[in-house]
A = this chain, B = another copy of it.
Amino acid sequence: MVGMKDQRIGVVGLGRMGANMARRLKDCGYQVTVVFDVVDEVAAALGTEIGAKVATSLADVTAGAEVILTVVTDDAAMRGIFTADGLLQGAEGRVFVNCATVSPAVHEEVAGLCRAAGAEAIEACMASSITQAREGTLYLMVAGEESAWLRVEPMLRDLSKSLRYIGATGSAAKVKALVNMVMNINTAALAEGLGLGAAMGLDLAMLSEVFSQTGANSRVLETDGADMIAREHDCYFSAAHAAKDSGIANALAREAGVAVPLSDATEEQYRRLISLGRGELDKSAVAELTFPGRAQ
């Protein structure tokens, strides 16, 4: 069997997650031979930085690598890259590792297209952010055919500190959708609690500490609480992404006939932020909607 470090790796979608994963793989001694992004300058900059070829087309990526990571933004982008004259051209024997947070159904669709083209696809859903991508400490949930999983497992281990095989194609995306759904609700909840506390003139450091010691505690209190108070919304996970991910979960809920009024309200809050022109701020910026005087 050929070791993974003898295989050529391509990366499609060079946002901060994709670019950092490419850097990490390069640091670990993988051959990242070809990169692609819809924005030419982004691809050119990363290609120069890590010494990879800048593909001029998606088919070029498939031609230049055995293993191809895709880290695109949404369902439409995923469908847009897996076309007959895109990544699927000459794809026989390739394995695609799809890291974007997209709908479970899109993962199933893409896996079917890959199979028909003689290739394999695997989902590797990430429940972590930019820093973890750079440091190879992602929380990864993998789903798809076991044969494909075994082919890329060593590489995924070098990208992650926690790696979990969930099951059939689409299942990792379902779990990811639920993680982000609950995380986004808890974030908007915290924004309501701290915002109302601010409106009532309470000491917010005291309030945060009480939250942390009681039933109000949550992971997002640790990650986003101080940022909400200090109004520091440098983007780790954008409000626009939060809206998209809650939207995926809410669509799954509608399909399943489950009412999710809190998640609906959360999606609406994030869409409101987008409509206020603040979609590219961090998800913690949802506090802009609840702290007095901020969202005017």
Contacts and interface: CB of A to CB of B under 8 A. Distances in A.
Interface of A: 127-128, 139, 141, 162, 164, 166, 171, 174-175, 178-183, 185-186, 188-190, 192-193, 195-197, 199-200, 202, 206-207, 210-211, 213-220, 223, 249, 252-253, 256-266, 268-269, 289-290, 292
| Chain A interface mostly | helix
Contacts of A141: 210
Contacts of A265: 261-262, 264-265
A127 B182 contact: no
* 4 pairs of A and B residues whose beta carbons are closest in the complex: A183-B215, A185-B189, A218-B218, A182-B216
B200 A193 contact: no
Contacts of A252: 196, 200
Contacts of A217: 218-219
A16 B202 CA distance: 31
A212 to B, nearest CB: 9
A269 B258 CA distance: 13
B182 A189 contact: yes
